[in-house]
Amino acid sequence: LNVGGTRYAFTREVIRDFPLRRVSRLHACASEKEVLELCDDYDRDRNEFFFDRHAQAFVFIMLYVRSGKLRFVPGVCELSFYTEMLYWGLESAHLDSCCQRRLDDRMSEIGLDGLSEEGARLPGDQPERWLEQARRAFEEPNSSLAAQLLASVSVMFVIVSMVMLCASTLPDW
């Protein structure tokens, strides 16, 4: 593989079992046309696949392949690295939890909350988008004003329930 000018050498068996979907699919290609759908160029003489991608990001992705921990590249925008991850077939779930929070915060900052792993959502995906917003409202009280209101109302119901439970034990009730 040649990614952004940096060469990596792998055996066919390693490429076949590679955890990056784009690379592992190279093994199954029957024609050069299929290969060129997955990479930018192919040198048949040297059996080298060229990818015009961010070389430093790929180094961190290779560290993930070896160690199982995926973290952001220092000095590279989280969204740029996320784009590289999607290109290589990784999803945000592969990120360590600290980096996942950074990505979520960054996407919230610029209004890309509805961005899916495959890219921008289609108009027919509104129920899925609504479900994702509802999930975030219940699980992340600081994610929006509606989530904060929901959390406040929930706490109020718990307090009222506790007061009513205590009051029901009094003889006058």
- What are the pLDDT digits (tens) for 127-166? 677 777 787 888 888 878 888 999 999 999 999 999 999 9
pLDDT band at 123 (very low <50, low <70, confident <90, very high): very low
pLDDT of residue 19: 66
pLDDT of residue 125: 55
For residues 114 and 16, give the distance between their C-alpha atoms in angstroms, rounded to a whole number: 33
Structure tokens at 52: 């015009």
66 CB-near residues (< 8 Å, 6+ apart): none
Rounded percentage of the chain residues whose pLDDT exceeds 90:
19
Contact 84, 34 (CB under 8 A): no
Q: Distance between alpha carbon 11 and the CA centroid of its chain, in Å? A: 28
For residues 60 and 124, give the distance between their C-alpha atoms in angstroms, rounded to a whole number: 35
Average pLDDT over residues 50-68: 87
Q: Is 121 exposed, middle or buried (0-12, 13-18, 19+ CB in 10 A)?
A: middle
pLDDT of residue 145: 87
What residue ranges do the domains of the chain occupy? 1-53, 55-60+67-122, 140-169
